[in-house]
Chain A
Amino acid sequence: MSVIVGTETRLCTSGITGREGTFHTLNNRRYGTNVVAGVTPGKGGQDVEGIPVFDTFAKAVDETGANTAMVFVPPPFAADSILEAADAGIETIITITEGIPAHDELRVFNHLQTRHPNTRLIGPNCPGVLSPGKANVGIIPAQFFKEGNVGVVSRSGTLTYQIGNELALRGFGNSSIVGIGGDPVPGSNFIDIVALFQDDPQTELIVLSGEIGGSAEEEAAQYIKDNVTKPVVGYIAGVTAPPGKTMGHAGAIVSGSSGSAAAKIEALEGCGVRVGRTPTEVSDIAVQILGS
């Protein structure tokens, strides 16, 4: 097993005819992901190396049975594309686009929660989801990861690769690697993904990689204490970040005393989650828990 994407995934890319959309969709197909369709308004009837392109998500779903969307369109059109995918009945929407206005995200999140409670949005501003050996949806460089028993959930892309690589060097593989993204209103938060890993038989250890800003890590800490029986190892980036400065990710900002790395580490450790001070220490702790 794995979470979110796997052998049952039937992928439809929004923005498939754009440069990045084409490149990564084909990359995902090469990895073994079942890519069934793409959507670009006005280009219905064309194909991208054999992948049929449709004008609307509704048509793509009707004709191909797509169940997963990957959104690659530029920020001004991304919220619309997510809503269109949900309206067409797609239940997993993975949004890679960075730079979507926060108020768009707020409206999309609340609409999905109210009208499409079974739709899972991952991202925006995320690297996607990789289930090694099964499917890759997004931009995670799959060559560094193999199948295994560690589930990783992270707010950052490259940091996920760094941590995944440290684990790989110690011989660990992954059930799934989930990037939830660095924006202020992520479609899915740590709790959503940790809950999936808790129920996933392949996952024996969960790595949670957070960063400064917001309170998602603190909320996850309490959830883990109350609901999770599998071991969890944490990491928080931004211990030395100055308050009031946005550190690259729109959501990575310490506001006053809230959102600091110290508070997040304290919350996680207070709930029994061991926290590595460096990505290397995360893999050290994984070895202590699972054995090498």
Chain B
Amino acid sequence: MDLLEYQGKQLFARHGIPVPTGKPAATVDEAVAAADEIGYPCVVKAQVLIGGRGKAGGIKVAQNTDEARTHADAILGMDIRGHIVHQVWIEEASDIKEEYYASVVFDRSASSTLMMLSKEGGVEIEEVAERNPSAIARLHVDPLLGFQGFHGRRLAFDAGLDADLIRPVGAILAQLYEAYVAEEAMLVEVNPLVVLGDRSVKALDAKVTLDGNALYRHPDNATLRNPGAEDAQEQMAKERGLTYVKLDGDIGILGNGAGLVMSTLDVVSLAGGKPANFLDAGGGSKAEAITSAVEVILSDPKVKAVLFNIFGGITRCDEVANGLVAAFHQINPQVPFVVRLDGTNDVEGRRIVAEANLPNVETATTMLEAAEKVVALAAGAPA
């Protein structure tokens, strides 16, 4: 789960990491009130989960109330590369002298925690890694040992920090690591970490990704919502406990098991089609879950045809077939379906589908055949 900048900064503040004073706002009036309270100059920052906000005009400095109103009015509702701005963060302006980069990363390939520090902040770190890899100091922290003082000193000295900054930056690195462990984050990134005119150091941005599987231990984090980050279908699927990802095509996909569904998307694309979604109905999918999933898929108006690709293991094909039949009775879909049932109880499942004699439902015996049929149907041709 990705946090918005201000949610990340509030999390930082709880762990003692210095951040500029600020307030979130969802309306122009709230934004102006927040700006008046914080004082001028202040910065109006769009809260969206995508980079390049500044270039898109989503970050503006306000010198007075009128400017705060003008900027908040322009930024709220703005579309930044497909992300609508529903909230702004009003923050005191900072007297920036230097821009650094710091991060704590859950490093899957090393099964460890990676920490990075660089004096070249304020730009994409990937760009620095490409152009000047030696500018990034990096080291792994043994998860069984945790962050030690020497880790901070090594990063700070390796990154080439001035002597007076070794101690404060080391302290912030320790706090970032502490926040990463305590909140069970997959990523904690500060870009830029700024040095101000008085040589104090602050986190001017916050990028935090939390582990969705650990949210049950963090009820406060679990309630953080990012309006606009999910579209209507994704929201609906989440409420129904389905694993759904919206894509931009017109062929609805339902399968069981993440790997098989990913493979189904690929095979449909190879057959010349464009999937509208990823939907994993999960292991042991019961009839009600299938009906519910069909509703989610069809709530996307772009969907012109639907493919069911099931290889039953724990999932039983007769359950899936019953769910499909129930869905037809309840919502009477107007688009054609292609159904491929293989694996546990497949003969029974196919019999149920055949006997229900549903309108617009084709069956297929293999994944490839099913993909070709659904692509033809979506294109308006008879399968």
Chain A residues in contact with chain B, CB under 8 A? 75-76, 99-104, 106-107, 109-111, 113-114, 127, 139-141, 144, 154-162, 165, 182, 184-185, 209, 211-216, 219, 235, 237-242, 245-252, 256-257, 261, 277-280
Contact = CB atoms under 8 A, between A and B. Distances in A.
Contact of A106 (B112, B344, B368): B112
Given A103-B214, A250-B212, A256-B126, A139 B283 contact: yes
Nearest to A158: B257
Nearest to B185: A103
B211 interface: yes
A160 B211 contact: no
Contact of B258 (A75, A182, A242): A182
Given A103-B211, A249-B259, A250-B213, 7 more contacts: A103-B106, A103-B184, A111-B144, A185-B111, A237-B266, A247-B278, A278-B270
Given A101-B213, A241-B265, A279-B263, A248 B106 contact: no
Interface stretch (B17-25, B37-45, B56-64, B306-314): B306-314
Contacts, number: 168
Given A110-B144, A141-B344, A155 B313 contact: no
Contacts of A242: 245, 247
A140 to B, nearest CB: 7
B367 interface: yes
24 contacts: A102-B106, A103-B143, A106-B106, A110-B111, A111-B144, A144-B343, A154-B259, A156-B262, A157-B259, A158-B257, A158-B283, A158-B313, A159-B260, A165-B311, A182-B259, A213-B108, A247-B245, A247-B261, A249-B258, A251-B108, A278-B270, A278-B367, A279-B263, A280-B367
B211 A102 contact: yes
A76 B217 CA distance: 9
A237 B144 contact: no
A110 B211 contact: no
A111 B263 CA distance: 34
Contacts of A241: 262, 265, 278
B313 A127 contact: yes
B266 A239 contact: yes
Contacts of B263: 159, 162, 235, 237, 278-279
A141 B343 contact: yes
A241 B142 CA distance: 32
B186 interface: yes
B256 interface: yes
B109 A216 contact: yes
B366 interface: yes
A241 B268 CA distance: 12
A240 B367 contact: no
Contacts of B315: 158
Contacts of B113: 106
B181 interface: yes
Contacts of B283: 139, 157-158
Nearest to B312: A141
Contacts of B8: none
Contacts of B313: 127, 139-141, 157-158, 161
Nearest to B256: A158
Contacts of A101: 184, 211, 213-214, 217
A99 B109 CA distance: 19
Nearest to B255: A158
B184 A248 contact: no
Given A240-B265, A248-B280, A110 B109 contact: no
Nearest to A280: B368
Contact of B266 (A76, A144, A216, A278): A278
- Which of B263, B280, B342 lies at the interface centre, i.e. has the most chain A CB atoms within 10 A of its CB? B263
Nearest to B249: A240
A15 to B, nearest CB: 16
Nearest to B266: A239
B214 A238 contact: no
A185 B107 CA distance: 9
B121 interface: no
A160 B106 contact: no
B109 A159 contact: no
Contact of A237 (B181, B214, B262): B262
- Which of B111, B113, B256, B270 lies at the interface centre, i.e. has the most chain A CB atoms within 10 A of its CB? B111
A102 to B, nearest CB: 5
Nearest to A139: B314
B312 A248 contact: no
A76 B144 CA distance: 19
Instruction: Report the 10 A-B pairs with minimum CB-CB distance, sorted nearest first.
Output: A156-B259, A248-B258, A158-B257, A159-B259, A101-B214, A158-B260, A237-B262, A238-B262, A237-B263, A248-B280
A160 B259 contact: yes
Interface in B154-187: 181, 184, 186
B275 interface: yes
A160 B265 CA distance: 16
Nearest to A179: B259
B266 A238 contact: yes
Contacts of A161: 260, 311, 313, 343
Contacts of A216: 109
A191 to B, nearest CB: 12
- Which of B217, B314, B344 lies at the interface centre, i.e. has the most chain A CB atoms within 10 A of its CB? B314
